[in-house]
A and B are shown apart, each in its own frame.
Chain A
Amino acid sequence: MKGSLVIVGFFALGCLTGLYNILPFNISETDISLYALCALMFSVGLSIGNDPQTIKNFRALNPRLIFLPIMTILGTLVGAALASIFLTNRTMTECMAVGSGFGYYSLSSIFITEYKGAELGTVALLSNITREIITLLAAPLLVRWFGNLAPISSGGATTMDTTLPIISRCSGQEFVVVSIFHGFVVDFSVPFLVTFFCSI
């Protein structure tokens, strides 16, 4: 939660900087964000490849629960497609690109800004932060209404870190391994799906 606040803080600070024209040059005309994005993805790759623990954890997984990330992705995309019916000024693929953030607000909003501009990027940031917050606050309700797997699906890409403690508390200790596995797979799908829905 503290990490999310710092991130929102940086976004807000940027908004103020842009609003009052504090920077001496126009940052959106430079390639800084593209290079930073490349550096970011390279570092993310390094940290995944360099960590032997992630793969080891998955040996303890109930094989039938391999389907959970697929259910999350399908459910999210169907939901986002249906949301586009109510949002007349957004296309179905734009809504699906925003939905494909799965709560991974930093990466998805950065990608969408790069491909579709800052307006949809802002929607992606707000939408995916809300997804994380809803999961954190509503996890007990989601368990009661939709069963023990629901907060994991709702948490999307965040279930291996920020929402893991609440899932462990509400769904039970035995769901920690599937939660980490689920977060890893969904996390990994974010750049692919976002790029895909931005390019069609």
Chain B
Amino acid sequence: MFTVILIMFAGIILGASLRKYRIKHINRLITILIWMLLFILGVEAGSNKDIINGLLTLGLEAVIITIATVLGSCIAAWSLWYVLYKRKKGAKA
């Protein structure tokens, strides 16, 4: 599993050592690979009857997780915001 992450680090090291030469079109390649992989994910999902029949349920699960994660991260951001800015302003005023 971690092979993929090692491959990314190999890319970073190679990219950094080749900094003299701008590697062109790399973002184009990334976009095309992402398209290809999401197409494959679609094919896998589409040929799986359980997923197609349960798409509504899966979507609902997705939305529940999203709302929970957005709220969680916003509350965490609010507490940092409070410590860094709001409390100080309150003390000055």
- Determine whether the beta carbon of B4 is less than 8 Å from that of A147: no
Is A183 among interface residues, defined by CB-CB distance under 8 A?
Answer: no
Is A61 among interface residues, defined by CB-CB distance under 8 A?
Answer: no
How extensive is the interface on chain B, given as a class?
A: 35 or more
Give every chain B residue within 8 A of A95 (Cβ-Cβ). 65
Q: How far is the CA of A102 from the CA of B70 in the complex (A)?
A: 9
* In the complex, residue of chain B having the shortest beta-carbon distance to the beta carbon of A113: B41
Q: How far is the CA of A67 from the CA of B78 in the complex (A)?
A: 12
30 A-B pairs (CB sep. < 8 Å): A12-B42, A14-B39, A14-B40, A15-B43, A15-B45, A17-B46, A19-B52, A41-B4, A41-B8, A45-B7, A46-B12, A47-B23, A68-B77, A74-B76, A76-B73, A79-B71, A79-B72, A82-B72, A87-B61, A87-B64, A98-B65, A119-B54, A127-B63, A128-B66, A147-B82, A150-B77, A154-B70, A154-B77, A198-B1, A199-B1
- Determine whether the beta carbon of A44 is less than 8 Å from that of B39: no
Q: How far is the CA of A28 from the CA of B46 in the complex (A)?
A: 11
Is A134 among interface residues, defined by CB-CB distance under 8 A?
Answer: yes
- Determine whether the beta carbon of A7 is less than 8 Å from that of B38: yes
B8-35 contacts to A, CB under 8 A, are 8-19, 22-23, 26-27, 29-31, 33-35
From A12, A83, A142, B65 is in contact (CB under 8 Å) with A83
Is A162 among interface residues, defined by CB-CB distance under 8 A?
Answer: no
Q: How far is the CA of A124 from the CA of B75 in the complex (A)?
A: 22
A1-47 contacts to B, CB under 8 A, are 3, 6-7, 10-19, 21, 23, 26-28, 32-33, 36-47
- Determine whether the beta carbon of B47 is less than 8 Å from that of A19: yes
- Which 10 pairs across A and B sit closest by C-beta, in order of nearness? A14-B42, A45-B11, A79-B72, A49-B15, A18-B46, A75-B76, A147-B81, A153-B77, A18-B47, A126-B62
Is A123 among interface residues, defined by CB-CB distance under 8 A?
Answer: yes
Is A90 among interface residues, defined by CB-CB distance under 8 A?
Answer: yes
From A98, A134, A145, A191, B4 is in contact (CB under 8 Å) with A191
- Determine whether the beta carbon of A49 is less than 8 Å from that of B13: yes
- Determine whether the beta carbon of A75 is less than 8 Å from that of B41: no
Given A13-B42, A47-B26, A98-B62, A37–B76 Cβ distance below 8 Å?
A: no
- Determine whether the beta carbon of B74 is less than 8 Å from that of A113: no
Given A52-B19, A153-B74, A43–B43 Cβ distance below 8 Å?
A: no
Shortest distance from the beta carbon of A184 to any chain B beta carbon, whole Å:
13
Shortest distance from the beta carbon of B70 to any chain A beta carbon, whole Å:
5
Give every chain B residue within 8 A of A47 (Cβ-Cβ). 15, 23, 26-27, 30
Give every chain A residue within 8 A of B68 (Cβ-Cβ). 79-80, 82-83, 99
* In the complex, residue of chain B having the shortest beta-carbon distance to the beta carbon of A83: B68
From A72, A125, A130, B63 is in contact (CB under 8 Å) with A130
